[in-house]
Amino acid sequence: MNELIQMLPKAELHMHIEGSLEPELMFKLAKRNGIELPHQSIDELKALYDFNNLQEFLDIYYQGCSVLQTEQDFYDLAWAYLKKAKEDHVVHTEIFYDPQSHTARGIPFEVAINGLYRAFDDAQEQMGISFHIIACFLRHLPEQDALDLYPEILKHRDKILGIGLDSSEMGHPPEKYQQVFAQAKKDGFKVVAHAGEEGPAEYVKQAIELLQVDRIDHGNRCLDDEILTAQIAHKGLALTVCPLSNLKLKVVQDLVDHPIKKMLKKGLMATINSDDPAYFGGYVNENYRQLAAAVGLTEDEIFTLVENSFKASFLPDSIKEIHLKALH
Ligand code: HPA
Ligand code: ZN
């Protein structure tokens, strides 16, 4: 089974580039930029990677971002992820980044996007990995902050395909972001939102009805609502599921309890992704491997999940076809 997982070319659709910052690179960048980290060693930092919920993770994740200062830092961050993606036979990736977690620290908008874009563009040429970049709004901030940032995103629309919504879910329902999402949709951006990771099925419903999302990030809790689940399946709206993230953030108590089989049985277009691989214990293939071992995925189910990764991508249909044919 692990051989099959390794062998299949796949797409990854839910990966926060800041969440691929490995402790080793974090310390290296801190040193390069003269930044003092509150942790004395890599081991001391890794000891903190024991989370009870999303917020405990986010506090550590945003602190890690402080070492990202220059365009080269963002380039190096992306390049390190791309090397891992290549090893996992990822041939297309749609990554998230959080512009506000950098602009809020005084890092100009261009610095992050230019560094990231240059790395992904180089990798497309040198590693044959295609990509899209999705800029996420931090939902714990007021919608006005997103509206203020939006013109910068528009200015860089040649590099940014879509808009997402992430950070602390509880208490920050999708309805809070209707205005900026409506504008982004009107301007032709793809739109996605994290929903139903910790938040209720109602938030998934809002993401669909009020934000008109093209894909749902996580979406686990939609399963609490049978009618909603059937509607999502009927629409063919994809879920970007992140098994190791679900385990580490206690969305599931044990990987054997993961609802992936239920999702597939209900006809949901589920995909497998790594979310924040440096923090959650593995890149995309490790997510497939551990999930397959825990719930006993069949070869057919693995195949379906990999096929879904291309079907649910924002690639043009003609390119999707090429990737899907290559699987057979
Ligand atoms: N959930 C919400 N926001 C995030 C995550 C996540 O898993 N990772 C980075 N930002
Ligand atoms: Zn995520």
Task: Give 328 Cα–ligand 2 centroid separation in angstroms.
Answer: 30
pLDDT of residue 261: 98
pLDDT of residue 5: 98
Structural domain total, the chain: 1
Q: What is the CATH number of the domain that holds 193?
A: 3.20.20.140
Q: How far apart are CA 288 and CA 73, in angstroms?
A: 29
Ligand closest to CA 276: 1
Task: Give 218 Cα–ligand 1 centroid separation in angstroms.
Answer: 10
Query: Which atom of ligand 1 lies at the shortest distance from residue 249's CA?
Result: 7
Interface ipTM: 0.96
Query: Which positions make up the binding site?
Result: 14, 16, 194, 275-276
Task: Give 19 Cα–ligand 2 centroid separation in angstroms.
Answer: 9
Residues in the chain: 328
The response to whether residue 130 sits with its C-beta less than 6 Å from ligand 1 reads: no
pLDDT of residue 93: 99
Q: How far apart are CA 258 and CA 55, in angstroms?
A: 21
Q: How far apart are CA 182 and CA 30, in angstroms?
A: 39
Residue 165 pairs with which residues in a beta bridge? 137
The response to whether residue 248 sits with its C-beta less than 6 Å from ligand 1 reads: no
Residues acting as catalytic residues:
197
The response to whether residue 273 sits with its C-beta less than 6 Å from ligand 1 reads: no
The response to whether residue 16 sits with its C-beta less than 6 Å from ligand 1 reads: yes
pLDDT of residue 327: 96
Widest CA span in the chain: 54
pLDDT of residue 73: 99
Query: Which atom of ligand 1 lies at the shortest distance from residue 242's CA?
Result: 7
Over the Cα atoms of the chain, what is R_g? 18
pLDDT of residue 265: 98
The response to whether residue 73 sits with its C-beta less than 6 Å from ligand 1 reads: no
Task: For ligand 1, atom 2, name the residue with the nearest CA.
Answer: 167
Strands, E assignment, the chain: 10-16, 90-97, 130-138, 162-166, 190-195, 215-218, 238-241, 269-272
The response to whether residue 190 sits with its C-beta less than 6 Å from ligand 1 reads: no
Domain coverage including residue 119: 2-326
| Helix and strand numbers, DSSP H then E, in the chain | 17, 8
Ligand closest to CA 95: 2
Q: Is 217 left (phi over 0), alpha (psi -120 to 50) or beta?
A: beta
Q: How far apart are CA 44 and CA 49, in angstroms?
A: 10
Residues near 175 by beta carbon (within 8 Å), at least 6 away in sequence: 206, 210
Under 8 Å between Cβ of 204 and 196: yes
**Which of the 8 DSSP states describes residue 104?**
T
Task: Give 275 Cα–ligand 2 centroid separation in angstroms.
Answer: 5
Query: Which positions make up the binding site for substrate?
Result: 276
pLDDT in tens, the chain (328 residues): 999 999 999 999 999 999 999 999 999 999 999 999 999 999 999 999 999 999 999 999 999 999 999 999 999 999 999 999 999 999 999 999 999 999 999 999 999 999 999 999 999 999 999 999 999 999 999 999 999 999 999 999 999 999 999 999 999 999 999 999 999 999 999 999 999 999 999 999 999 999 999 999 999 999 999 999 999 999 999 999 999 999 999 999 999 999 999 999 999 999 999 999 999 999 999 999 999 999 999 999 999 999 999 999 999 999 999 999 999 9
